[in-house]
């Protein structure tokens, strides 16, 4: 708990058997009340490892639902556990669990209802092994998105993010894609509903076991991000009425 707020960490997992235990052991359990793992039909021993290390809430998809579909299950379970603060942490150890403590503090103190752990703040991205083409694409997409959405985030593409439960409940995540573009749609929804997003510097780690998408899927993701931003802009000026921007309230 943090000031009587229940803290739940969700782990969207796919073939994370090699890195899951290392990730889990660094979660500050004196602060975190519950850990939820959603396995998206992995081909390895992810579920067995999760059970062995003592993760209590394990959800297994019989068929692969995609990264966005995995997150939908993560957030639904977190809300069912009456979470007040929800942190999404990838179990591939690309993002350090040691940032959970300051992230929870930012939300728990009411400074920001959403926090992103940014790999771009500071100079750690390339030093930590981010491929140059991904860094350049990240910078270009972020510039384009900030321009259309009217914000000043350092990056929209980190997978390490935390939310107050109120934010998750107020946006229509079920209308979002089940693919990687889900992340971007969710941030656009958050801004559309008038919430502010804080950022914290995150060390970058790229290594063989860390999950990544290939160049073709990266291109598809990039074009999808641009389209989300265009739709955001068109909705704001009243030309479109996209389902993803309709409030759940």
Annotate 64-110 with DSSP letters as a single string.
Answer: --HHHHHHHHHHHHHHHTT-SEEEE--TTSSS-GGGHHHHHHHHHTT
Q: Does residue 2 register a pLDDT over 80? A: yes
User: What pLDDT does 23 receive?
Assistant: 96
Backbone angles phi, psi at 165, to 5 degrees: -60, -35
Rounded CA-CA distance 184/205 in Å is: 21
| pLDDT of the residue at 104 | 98
Q: What CATH number is attached to the domain comprising 69?
A: 3.90.550.10
Q: Is residue 37 part of a domain?
A: yes
pLDDT digits (tens, 9 = 90+) for 172-200: 999 999 999 999 999 999 999 999 999 99
Does residue 2 fall inside a structural domain?
A: no
Label the pairing between strands 161-164 and 114-118.
antiparallel
| Digit-coded pLDDT (tens) for 31-44 | 999 999 999 999 99
d(CA 189, CA 249): 13
Residues 6+ apart with CB under 8 A from 79: 86, 165, 168, 169
Query: Residue 235 falls within a domain, yes or no?
Result: yes
81 in Cβ contact with 36 (< 8 Å): yes
Neighbour count for residue 214 (Cβ, 10 Å): 8
Checking if the pLDDT of 59 tops 90, the result is yes
User: Which pLDDT band, with edges at 50, 70 and 90, does 249 fall under?
Assistant: low
In a domain, 160, yes or no: yes
Q: What token pair was written down for 14?
A: 């796919």
**Residue of 49 and 209 predicted with greater confidence:** 49
Extract the tokens encoding 102: 């300051």
Tokens 């598809």 correspond to what residue? Answer: 220
Widest CA span of the chain, in angstroms?
Answer: 52
Range of the domain at 224: 7-243
pLDDT beyond 90 at 164:
yes
Q: Is residue 87 in some structural domain?
A: yes
Give the per-residue pLDDT at 67: 96
More confident residue, 70 or 209: 70
- Residues near 4 by Cβ (< 8 Å), separated by ≥ 6? none
Distance CA 161, CA 37 (A): 16
CB 90 within 8 A of CB 11: yes
The dihedral built from the CA positions of residue 87, 88, 93 and 96, taken in this order, carries a sign that is: negative
Give domain status of residue 59, yes or no.
yes
Alpha carbon 32 to chain centroid, angstroms: 17
Report the number of distinct structural domains present in the chain: 1
Does residue 162 fall inside a structural domain? yes
Average pLDDT of span 94-99: 94
What is the reported pLDDT for 131?
A: 79
Residue 128 domain-assigned (yes or no): yes
104-157: pLDDT as tens digits = 999 999 999 999 999 888 777 777 777 788 888 889 999 999 999 999 999 999
> pLDDT category, 246, cuts 50, 70, 90?
confident
For the stretch 198-238, pLDDT in tens is: 999 998 776 555 556 677 788 899 999 999 999 999 999 99
Name the more confident of 165 and 124. 165
Least Cα distance to 70 among 182, 214, 193, 229 occurs for 182
């Amino acid at each position: 708990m943090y000031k009587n707020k229940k803290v739940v960490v969700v782990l969207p997992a796919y073939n994370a058997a090699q890195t899951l235990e290392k990730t889990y052991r660094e979660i500050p359990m004196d602060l975190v009340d519950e850990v939820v793992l959603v396995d998206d039909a992995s081909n390895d021993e992810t579920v067995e490892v999760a059970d062995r290390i003592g993760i209590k809430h394990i959800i297994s998809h019989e068929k692969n639902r995609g990264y966005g579909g995995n997150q939908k299950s993560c957030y639904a379970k977190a809300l069912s556990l009456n979470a007040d603060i929800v942190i999404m942490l990838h179990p591939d150890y690309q993002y350090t669990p040691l940032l959970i403590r300051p992230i929870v503090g930012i939300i728990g103190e009411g400074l920001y209802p959403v926090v992103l752990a940014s790999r771009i703040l500071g100079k750690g991205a390339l030093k930590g092994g981010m491929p140059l083409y991904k860094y350049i694409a990240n910078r270009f997409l972020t510039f384009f998105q900030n321009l259309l959405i009217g914000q000043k985030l350092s990056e929209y593409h980190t997978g390490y993010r935390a939310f107050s439960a109120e934010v998750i409940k107020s946006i229509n995540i079920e209308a979002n894609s089940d693919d990687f573009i889900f992340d971007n749609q969710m941030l656009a929804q958050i801004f559309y509903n008038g919430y502010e997003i804080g950022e914290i510097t995150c060390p970058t780690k790229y290594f063989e076991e860390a999950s990544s998408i290939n160049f073709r899927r990266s291109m598809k993701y990039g074009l999808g991000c641009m389209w989300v931003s265009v739709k955001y802009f068109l909705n704001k000026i009243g030309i479109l009425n996209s389902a993803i921007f309709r409030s759940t309230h």
